[in-house]
Structure 1
Amino acid sequence: MPTERITLDLDATGLYAARYAAAARSQSLDEWISKVVRDHAIRDALEVDGPRDDLDEPPGWADEIMDNIFREDEE
């Protein structure tokens, strides 16, 4: 999925917890934060507005779906 570089200011406790959670899942911090933000944003949007048909797909959404459908499981 395409990425964009941003700068975040996080409190020390939040950053420590995020690093710990990412390491526990063997993910980089940026991968973990991206997934958490994406999941939370989608959940919040659905709570506020419900499903909507008038929105464009997020960038890379279709590619990620196809990759998940057709990827070969690593063994």
Structure 2
Amino acid sequence: MASRQNPQRRRDELQKLYDLLNEKIVRLRTARIIETDAAILFRLDKQIEEAQTEHDKIAQQIDSLDKALEQGY
């Protein structure tokens, strides 16, 4: 269904997800700063890594949609 949405609407949805992931990363990094337990630090590191990977993928999708919108898709 997402592929049938117009590009601007899809971009707006991706932007919301991007912003939420950005907030999640900030909060995870804040938690990591104050955490001292090694097991929890490891888990936080993995969560940050996963969220950052998803964040980067969404950024690429947004860039692609921006280019399509500029070309009058």
TM-score relative to the length of structure 2: 0.33
Q: Which structure is higher in RCO with an 8 Å CA cutoff and minimum separation 6?
A: 2
TM-score if structure 1 supplies the norm length? 0.32
- Structure showing greater radius of gyration is 2
Greater helix content:
2
